[in-house]
Structure 1
């Protein structure tokens, strides 16, 4: 099944067919990880920006490593030194990053509905 989603907020919104697609894709990437060179050009030329408003070393590193192995350019912003510390809203932050042509934005935030 082709993947048509632009955004994924929760796995609860996935259909059974989409879940199967995720598992099949995971199996394909697992094979890539076992190669001598564990990279694929899937996201070459794309930029991924990580916005972690909560500390989480494992999750942040997991997203950074995944994007890097897919050949993306990765930026992880320190939210303590961002404009949000001066009162900029989450929405404004995301809109500004989107305006700078980020291809993907990964957000970890504790507020319900922040995604």
Structure 2
């Protein structure tokens, strides 16, 4: 149907939610939101890091973390950052598991962390 260049590099899968496609770009670090039917950009927000997790929905927010372990959240209704970025783990590995408002992250040193997403 369409293709569009949204970043120099993307290392995660997109999220389809709320009639939009959310992409957390690796280079440059930003969240890009597209119309799923046309590929047209709806909005974008820069972030201070390169994203390494696929965006995910928890509650009424879109979440993604960058490679330094900073967790970012956005409110898709008003297209703004939903909270101050929180460092969840500098050594978090892979995609977090999310259920409801709980997030679980494994670390390279063998720890499993549980977070409540507000």
As a proportion of its length, which structure holds more strand?
Answer: 2
- Which structure has the larger Rg over C-alpha atoms? 1
TM-score class, shorter-chain normalisation, is under 0.3
As a proportion of its length, which structure holds more helix?
Answer: 1
- Which structure would you say has the larger RCO, counting Cα contacts within 8 Å and 6 or more residues apart? 1
TM-score by length of 1: 0.27
TM-score by length of 2: 0.26
